A = this chain, B = another copy of it.
């Protein structure tokens, strides 16, 4: 596996640490990025959103989406950028009418609660999501090779949760009622979602995304056995359809199931390169279970500090970063004569999206602590 080369029209990539770590190749530090790193905790984001008028006004405008994607990179030496968008753009393109009220989560104008509504669903024309692909290309140009760009989507199950509930939920009663009472309808929704998400991520890859991530934010609410059948199987169906490379470069695929730690062994069987982990998971155990051995197969691991650590002072943030790095242990270091030899690697991230209440200076402390601490760790 050679490091990502550049065979397309974009500027050559300068910081390859994130993509190398995704491919389980050695890096001189542990790369770090943060879920929802472009977001409300940044005053400059809030200013842009105010100009855009609404969340969807921001996400659907190429210039705004580019601007806010790059904002955290201006402040912090992050090792990757992630497309500014939402996990629910695909059901919006199916005609369900996505909106975000101030101070609330996402909401669909039309929810999918009965057989007629399920029958009306179809894989959307990707032209309806053109604004996303335009943003990807625009961001790639704006990044100018600084760091790689991650594209993403919600998982088929997570999309279904919102499509059936019509909004977030604390008990997932509607979607689970359909799953238990009418599993045939649920499977129909999930099959459509999986094919739509695959098309969507492939189009992001064609537009310039250098890695893609599937957010299974609500997989963890499922019962054992149902998780495998209603979430994992459809994530696998997406993965099977994804492009493995674009313009001669491998595109790593990341799967993150919040609350999925109990199913790590089964997730280790997925055909993807990276598994995201939340803070409940012990990184040493996860590495032993799915991280693999030098020269052998395995998954890169991404995560997993509690975002609430960022509300403590700088010393505590540094201590928690150190604890998290040491919990994974020393990442794979390739021999000098075989620098691309694979082995267990760690991509530092939060275990969930960053809180809107986070003090921006805490992020600077965290990113610096990851870079400095992980360089120290490689010398021990």
The chain B residue with its CB closest to the CB of A181 is B312
Contact A173 B224 (CB under 8 A): no
* Interface size in chain A (residues, C-beta < 8 A): 38
Contact B181 A316 (CB under 8 A): yes
Say yes or no: is A357 at the interface (Cβ < 8 Å to chain B). Answer: yes
Interface residues of A in 17-36 (CB under 8 A from B): none
Contact A223 B262 (CB under 8 A): no
The chain B residue with its CB closest to the CB of A279 is B223
Say yes or no: is A295 at the interface (Cβ < 8 Å to chain B). Answer: no
Give the chain B neighbours of A181 by CB distance below 8 A: 311-313, 316
Docked Cα-Cα span, A309 to B173, in Å, equals: 9
A223, A227, A261 interface centre (most CB from chain B within 10 Å): A223
Contact B262 A173 (CB under 8 A): no
Give the chain B neighbours of A222 by CB distance below 8 A: 280
Contact A180 B309 (CB under 8 A): yes
Also in contact, A355 and B280, with CB within 8 A (given A176-B306, A181-B311, A320-B180): no
Say yes or no: is A308 at the interface (Cβ < 8 Å to chain B). Answer: yes
Interface residues of A in 30-71 (CB under 8 A from B): none
> What does the 1/0 interface line of A218-254 toward B look like (CB < 8 Å)?
0010111111000000000000000000000000000
Contact B306 A223 (CB under 8 A): yes
Say yes or no: is A171 at the interface (Cβ < 8 Å to chain B). Answer: yes
Q: How many copies does the complex hold?
A: 2
Say yes or no: is A119 at the interface (Cβ < 8 Å to chain B). Answer: no
Contact A223 B280 (CB under 8 A): yes
Contact of A227 among B220, B280, B309 (CB under 8 A): B280
The chain B residue with its CB closest to the CB of A182 is B312
Say yes or no: is A282 at the interface (Cβ < 8 Å to chain B). Answer: yes
Interface residues of A in 265-289 (CB under 8 A from B): 279-282
Give the chain B neighbours of A279 by CB distance below 8 A: 223-224
Say yes or no: is A331 at the interface (Cβ < 8 Å to chain B). Answer: no
Say yes or no: is A76 at the interface (Cβ < 8 Å to chain B). Answer: no
Interface residues of A in 174-190 (CB under 8 A from B): 176-177, 180-181
Contact B308 A176 (CB under 8 A): yes
Say yes or no: is A259 at the interface (Cβ < 8 Å to chain B). Answer: yes
Interface residues of A in 292-351 (CB under 8 A from B): 304-309, 311-313, 316, 320, 323, 327, 351
Give the chain B neighbours of A180 by CB distance below 8 A: 306, 308-309, 311-312, 316, 320
Docked Cα-Cα span, A281 to B262, in Å, equals: 7
Give the chain B neighbours of A225 by CB distance below 8 A: 282, 323, 327
Docked Cα-Cα span, A224 to B181, in Å, equals: 35
Docked Cα-Cα span, A259 to B261, in Å, equals: 10
Contact A176 B223 (CB under 8 A): no
Task: Tell me how far the C-beta of A39 lies from the nearest C-beta in chain B, rounded to whole angstroms.
Answer: 14
Contact of A173 among B223, B226, B355 (CB under 8 A): B355
Task: Tell me how far the C-beta of A25 lies from the nearest C-beta in chain B, rounded to whole angstroms.
Answer: 27
Q: Would you give 14 A-B contacts (Cβ < 8 Å), ordered by A?
A: A171-B308, A176-B306, A176-B311, A177-B311, A180-B309, A180-B311, A181-B312, A223-B279, A223-B280, A224-B279, A226-B306, A259-B280, A261-B261, A262-B280
Interface residues of A (CB under 8 A from B): 170-173, 176-177, 180-181, 220, 222-227, 259, 261-262, 279-282, 304-309, 311-313, 316, 320, 323, 327, 351, 355, 357
